[in-house]
Structure 1
Amino acid sequence: MSERIWFTTAQAAEHTERHPQTVRKACEAGELHGSQRVPNGRWRIHRDCLDAWAYGDPCVHQREAPQTD
């Protein structure tokens, strides 16, 4: 069986040992990179982004974001 690559907020919370609301709020605030297929839909979070967030590191999407002064 292969490892999970994409997580829902509930799965991400279990993976990082955090509350699902914490994960959802981090996605909404842009602290955790996630995506929604439709507005107000379910969050999908890639494992690499989730692991980076859990360790306090920027994920690849946040490192590539243009810097504003």
Structure 2
Amino acid sequence: MEPYAKPKERKVGAQRPKIMHLPKSIETRTRREREAEKQAVAAERRAIKKSARRHLKQQLLAELEEDE
């Protein structure tokens, strides 16, 4: 997954929330469960971005220390 994905870009990959058009009698998840799943995907995406920022910051600091 692209760590610097834009918020409005199309969500792709294995973590993309799947849209299922099922009748209520077949759908086992409640609205709250679906929303919780969607929020979990968003939280994971934020964590990936945060981790990438930290990693780049560490790389930058390491390069600056090497130059000195």
The answer to whether TM tops 0.5 is no
TM-score (norm 2): 0.20
Q: Give the number of the structure whose residues are more often strand, by fraction.
A: 1
The structure number with the bigger radius of gyration is 2
Of structures 1 and 2, the one with the larger relative CO (CA 8 A, separation 6+) is 2
Higher helix fraction: Structure 1 or Structure 2?
2
Query: Structure 1 length normalisation: TM-score?
Result: 0.20
